[in-house]
């Protein structure tokens, strides 16, 4: 198979870093801001950023329902930090009415926003990650955690006793930012998922 075409939702957040990481992991990576761009990709990465702002922009740009539909139809997706929040089926502390984070329903899980605390509580650490031989160096910035996993959700990593990486079918999510380190194993894992789904 030729390199899969992976979109990176380019509304806010670490778009450039994810595009670079995906290229290094063997994908053809492109920014996604419009409906026709979403329709043209084999998979989508939802980067970190501000989940309420990203939800607002998804709705304003008429991408929210098309993205929900593509996920329901089996679109492979990977969400980091805010991306994990948006891929959930339920979000705790979602924000104020009219400015709340809106779940896309890609993974049957309940996620708590900013669970590890505010920006000043950001931290880094090495985590055992299921399927990888060596620990992953994880960067957590105003990170969420998973409070509930559905029966089909596989837990891939924990930090301080909390679930911080999961997979359900072709959808992967981490509470941390692998694009901020030189380690491309999680992006490579996602590219392998995309190729397998094709």
Domains of the chain: 5-195 (3.40.50.880)
SS3 181: coil
- The verdict on whether residue 17 carries a ligand-binding annotation is no
Q: Which two tokens stand for residue 57?
A: 């922009």
89 is in an annotated binding site: no
The answer to whether the annotation marks 107 as part of a ligand binding site is: no
82-110 pLDDT, tens digit per residue, is 999 999 999 998 877 778 999 999 999 99
Residue range 138-176, pLDDT digits in tens: 999 989 999 999 999 999 999 999 999 999 999 999 999
Could you tell me what percent of the chain has a pLDDT over 70? 98
Catalytic annotation, residues? 81, 177, 179
pLDDT band (50, 70, 90) for residue 78: very high
According to the annotation, is 49 in a ligand binding site?
yes
């Amino acid at each position: 198979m030729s390199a899969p075409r992976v979109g990176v939702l380019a509304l806010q957040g670490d778009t450039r870093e994810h595009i670079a990481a995906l290229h290094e992991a063997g994908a053809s990576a492109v920014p996604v801001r419009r409906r026709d761009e979403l329709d043209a990709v084999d998979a989508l990465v939802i980067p970190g950023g501000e989940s309420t702002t990203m939800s607002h922009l998804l709705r304003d740009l008429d991408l929210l329902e098309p993205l929900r539909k593509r996920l329901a139809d089996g679109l492979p997706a990977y969400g980091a930090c805010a991306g994990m929040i948006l891929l959930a089926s339920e979000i705790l502390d979602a924000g104020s009415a009219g400015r709340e984070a809106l779940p896309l329903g890609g993974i049957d899980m309940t996620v708590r926003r900013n669970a590890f605390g505010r920006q000043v509580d950001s931290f880094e650490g090495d985590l055992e990650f299921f399927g990888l031989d060596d620990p992953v160096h994880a960067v957590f910035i105003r990170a969420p955690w998973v409070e509930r996993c559905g029966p089909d959700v596989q837990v891939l990593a924990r930090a301080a006793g909390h679930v911080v990486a999961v997979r359900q079918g072709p959808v992967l999510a981490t509470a941390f930012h692998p694009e901020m380190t030189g380690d491309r194993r999680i992006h490579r894992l996602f590219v392998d998922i995309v190729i397998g789904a094709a």
